[in-house]
Amino acid sequence: MPPGHETEAVRGENPRAHVLRQARAKALGAELGKASGIVLGGDTVVSLEGRILGKPGDAREAEAMLEELMGRTHEVWSGLALVRSEGGRLLEGSLRSGASCSRVRFGHIPGASLRDYLAGDEWRDKAGAYGIQGWAGGFADLVEGSLDNVIGLPMELFARLLEEVLGAPGE
């Protein structure tokens, strides 16, 4: 289901609070129709020294983000929210959410490699202008945390939240 709209970070909002707010809004804003089941909302951002780097709007923004990340360690935050739906109605008390953080170190990217990357589409729709599971995996190293989190779906967190939501009221 389409997640609805995303909002910008609220002034002074930390990355953890941002991804939790976004994930909850996506899960609660899903167009359910008459569906029953579990709805997952998620959001991932890159944070450099507490500043959120979202998805670049164009290749210039992508280049600026990648240049800023080079030679530095940054955080990747993912927020997940799960709710249960029955007949298109969200079950009261079923919302469960959490956040996961990983640290990634970005190496130096040679100019020709960066130009080739920006000429393609892989940077589009990616927080921080990269996906570690693709091209950037050659330049980015997981320092701490879960690789699943950096990719955008922290499975350990998902499993815990799923267990919680299955035990929520309405079962």
Active site residues per annotation: 43
Tokens 């955080």: give the residue.
75
Task: Quote the tokens at residue 105.
Answer: 């170190």
Closest of 78, 123, 81, 126 to residue 102, by C-alpha? 78
